């Protein structure tokens, strides 16, 4: 089974895990894979579009902080390029 399908199945079985926890699972299951936090976010978005995952709420403070830290890291990385 592909990384994407495996991770999406894991998300459906564990919908309350953070993106980082899901990424940790992906990296443990597929150590040579190139899955990133962006991939995990895309998988969740795709599942929501298919109606398989509940719509995202505002989330907890920790989830909001995690999201903003991820965005900040992306902006810093793009600035370095």
Number of folded domains that form the chain: 1
The more confidently predicted of residues 53 and 9 is 9
Task: Return d(Cα 33, Cα 37) in angstroms, integer.
Answer: 13
Residue range 31-56: average pLDDT? 91
Residue 58: the pLDDT is 55
Residue 62: the pLDDT is 76
Residue range 15-30: average pLDDT? 95
Task: Return d(Cα 48, Cα 72) in angstroms, integer.
Answer: 24
Residue 26, domain extent = 3-80
The pTM is what? Answer: 0.68
How far is residue 58 CA from its own chain's centroid?
16
């Amino acid at each position: 089974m592909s990384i994407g399908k495996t991770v999406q199945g894991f998300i459906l079985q564990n919908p309350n895990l953070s993106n980082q926890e899901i990424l940790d699972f992906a990296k443990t299951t597929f150590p040579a894979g190139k899955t990133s936090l962006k991939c995990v976010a895309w998988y969740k978005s795709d599942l929501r579009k298919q109606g398989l995952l509940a719509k995202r709420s505002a989330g907890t403070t920790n989830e909001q902080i995690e999201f903003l830290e991820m965005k900040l890291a992306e902006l810093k990385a793009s600035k370095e390029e």
